[in-house]
Amino acid sequence: MADHPIQGLMKATMENLKQMVDVNTILGDPIQTPDGGVILTVSKVGFGFGAGGSDFNASSSASSKQEHNKPVTSYPFGGGSGGGVSISPVAFLVVNQNGINIMHLKDGTHLIEKVIDVAPQTLDKIKSMMGGGNQAQQQAQQQAQQQAQAAQQAAQTPPPSTPPPTSSSQSTQKKDELDPFA
């Protein structure tokens, strides 16, 4: 089956876009600094393309069929295609002896940068929870044992003897029982 003319338009558009957009367009070429660091440009790339066309019936197709005694197998074609690329730098990735830093060209909160900055602290907390969980368990067990020992000692020691209530203390108790505000 013969290729339709629109396929040729699409193929030409895609090949030209492919030449314009590659991985170096997004990350950029590395730039060496005098102190041995590397700077990479991070860009936002957007591209699009469109193509369209139409087959036209020739106005003289009926007469040409009759004149030449053979059917018309193709009609005139008209079409076009276009594409566009938008490249805008958004940040610089700086790698040097101080570490890896992302320098944004726009102000605002950047989630990926915050995740990278917080990751070591998060891992330390997880490690302390995992490794420290055994220590916390041991401390809780020790406290429970100490409380149990204190309770056993309290149960073994006899309560201090109390003198029998005197008449004055009985009257005070009755007064306290009758007066809820006392």
Task: Tell me if 159 is assigned to some domain.
Answer: no
pTM over 0.85: no
pLDDT at residue 38 in the model: 92
pLDDT digits 0-9 by tens, 142-179: 777 777 777 666 666 555 555 555 554 454 555 555 55
Task: Tell me if 128 is assigned to some domain.
Answer: no
Task: Tell me if 80 is assigned to some domain.
Answer: yes
Task: Tell me if 92 is assigned to some domain.
Answer: yes
Task: Tell me if 87 is assigned to some domain.
Answer: yes
The string over 37-49, giving b where at least 16 C-beta atoms fall within 10 Å of a residue's C-beta and e elsewhere, is eebbbbbeeeeee
| pLDDT averaged over every residue in the chain | 71
Instruction: Reduce the DSSP state of residue 168 to 3 states and report it.
Output: helix
Task: Tell me if 89 is assigned to some domain.
Answer: yes
Domain count, the chain: 1
Q: Where in the sequence is the domain holding 89, given as residue range(s)?
A: 5-58+74-105
- Length of the chain counted residue by residue: 182
- Pair 23, 45: CB distance under 8 Å: no
Task: Tell me if 162 is assigned to some domain.
Answer: no
pLDDT at residue 5 in the model: 75
In the predicted model, residues of the chain with pLDDT beneath 50 are 1, 61, 64, 168-169, 171
Task: Tell me if 166 is assigned to some domain.
Answer: no
pLDDT at residue 166 in the model: 55
pLDDT at residue 102 in the model: 84
pLDDT at residue 1 in the model: 46
